[in-house]
A and B are shown apart, each in its own frame.
Chain A
Amino acid sequence: MTTNLELFDQKDGLKTPPLLITLSVVAAVLMGVSAWMVFFYAPTEKVMGFVQKIFYFHVPCAWMTLWSAPLMAFGSIAYLATKKDRYDRLSDAGVELAILFGTLVMISGPLWGRKAWGVYWVWDARLTSFLVMVLTLVACKIVRAYAGPSAKTIAAGLSILAVVNALFVWVSVDLWRGTHPPKLVATLQVEMKQVFWLSVLSFHLAYFAMLWARLRMGKLRTALDRLAIKSTEAGLD
């Protein structure tokens, strides 16, 4: 119990770490620069034209969502094995980031799909697996909010199942022919590549800044909850 309350006892325990602030600022600036470069530096693609620019946004978002999968799988398994709150917070942070970036992917994807395929949505293997994963993770957050005392355990189990499900559909991609474009990063022109990798970098920085902030938030929340319990016990209510 004491370990978490330490946050409030230490001088500067509640202050945001300077490195986190630096990371966030750098990420924000780079994000702006890469957005500018997407529109004014990268050449317009010949076949798809202007719509292709979604690619610089869509693909990094998808990568960030996939980053969250091992994160929450690890967090959930470790939580089920040890029942330590630390791992539950990691899993929760992973789930939230996956929902955020997954939603961005599924907003940017259809905008491109409408132009390329003529429809917003197709039941392609990749699209389906993505949708299934994000839907399951939303269910996971709903469980967390409404299931009561055993919510953490249920949420851990669910996020493991979400990852298993995503893996299952991912494996079936080979069997299930899709219309989603294959990996094309290697085929890009030089300027396009530069912009793309800058965009990927800025998304990574933003991702880790958010992850850090989210983990800190969880930690502070736990500490605050415990402080509330302590104050009630001490009759300060």
Chain B
Amino acid sequence: MSPERSVFGTLVDAWRITEKDLLVELRTKEIVLTMGYFGFLVVLIFSFAFFQDGATISSVASGILWVSIAFAGTLGLGRIFEREREGDCIRALLLSPIPRPSIYLGKALGVLIFMLVVEAVVVPSVYFFFNLDLDRTRAGVLLLTVLLGTLGYAIVGTLLAAMLLRARTKDVLLAVVLYPLILPVLIIGVKATGILVQPEPVWNELSLWLRLLGLYDAVFLVASLWIFEPLLLD
């Protein structure tokens, strides 16, 4: 491996890692199915919990959406790295002539794709169970919000899950460590979605939240790429 690897080469290597994860997943469909079903169940339980006077309260929908995404995401994150630990695959991965940033990016992209598939279940569930009514523009912006939020979640979540790979009691620790750090994503996501589900959204405020979300993604992507290597060298 030449140290002067081009950006393109790094991305190609990252895609190889993602491809491997997708291939393994396509054969078993284990992560996506369990995560998706779990996400659906969470939405269902919430819709039951907030059912009053013959209808589910729509105003809590934005909170429910992000809580469901966060819960389902933790489940998947733990599993996607557990797979690498079985048979000590992570050691093989680290020994392979692939630069560390590529491993991180590849894993993060995999997490992002899995989560987007799961959200294809969760978002419609929230939409129907909570009686939302969105026109085409607002639905499009909602998808953008979810995409940006999930990106931030995948960026931070992948780093933390990788960090905790060799830790004892990592399943418990992942949730404890992840939620404080992604609190900004959840808050911004909830606020932005809350604006979107109103009949007359305040576009100015919404664009502010979306820019903040983009900023979060960028800041943490840079920070993660920077500290991923020393954290995995243990």
- A172 CB–B CB distance under 8 Å: yes
Number of A-B contacts (CB under 8 A): 98
Chain A 122-145 near chain B by CB (<8 Å), digits 1 or 0: 010000100110011011001100
Interface string of A149-168 (1 = CB under 8 A from B): 11101101110111011011
Number of residues in A with C-beta < 8 Å to the partner? 35
CB distance from B159 to the nearest CB of A (A): 8
A148 and B166 CA atoms in complex are apart in Å by: 9
Is A146's CB under 8 angstroms from B180's CB? no
Q: Is the CB of B167 within 8 A of A154?
A: yes
The answer on a CB contact under 8 Å between B184 and A143 is no
Contact between chains at B167 and A168 (CB < 8 Å)? no
Q: A150-B234, A153-B231 are in contact. Are A139 and B176 (CB under 8 A)?
A: yes
- A172/B215 in contact, CB under 8 A: yes
Residues of A within 8 A of B (CB): 80-81, 123, 128, 131-132, 135-136, 138-139, 142-143, 146-151, 153-154, 156-158, 160-162, 164-165, 167-169, 171-172, 175-176
Question: Does B126 make an interface contact (CB < 8 A)?
Answer: no
Q: Does B137 contact A (CB under 8 A)?
A: no
B230 interfacial by beta-carbon distance below 8 Å: yes
Question: Taking CB as reference atom, which chain B residue is nearest A139?
Answer: B177
Cβ-defined contact, B183 with A154, below 8 A: no
Closest chain A residue, CB of each to CB of B216: A168
Chain A contacts of B168 at CB under 8 A? Answer: 146-148
Provide the bound-state CA to CA distance between A81 and B181, in Å.
Answer: 23
- Asked whether, in the complex, the Cβ of B183 is within 8 Å of the Cβ of A157, the reply is no
Q: Does B120 contact A (CB under 8 A)?
A: no
Contacts of A146 in B (CB 8 A): 167-169, 172-173
Q: Given A154-B231, A165-B184, do A160 and B223 touch, yes or no (CB 8 Å)? A: yes
Q: Interface majority SS on A: helix, strand, loop or mixed? A: helix
List, in ascending order, chain B residues with CB within 8 A of A158's CB. 163, 177
Q: For the complex, would chain B's binding face be called helix, strand, loop or mixed by DSSP majority?
A: helix
Q: Which residue of B lies closest to A154 (CB)?
A: B163
Q: Check A151 against B227 for contact (C-beta < 8 Å).
A: no
Cβ of B83 within 8 Å of any chain A Cβ, yes or no, is no
Find out whether the CB atom of A135 lies under 8 angstroms from the CB atom of B180.
yes
Contacts of A147 in B (CB 8 A): 164, 167-170, 173
Give chain B nearest CB distance to A109 CB in angstroms.
18
A-B contacts besides A146-B167, A160-B223, A175-B212, 14 pairs, CB < 8 Å? A80-B231, A132-B181, A135-B179, A139-B177, A146-B173, A148-B166, A154-B231, A157-B230, A158-B163, A161-B181, A165-B184, A168-B184, A172-B212, A176-B208
B219 contacts A by Cβ under 8 Å: yes
* Cα-based distance from A148 to B185 in the complex (angstroms): 29
Contact B184 A171 (CB under 8 A): no
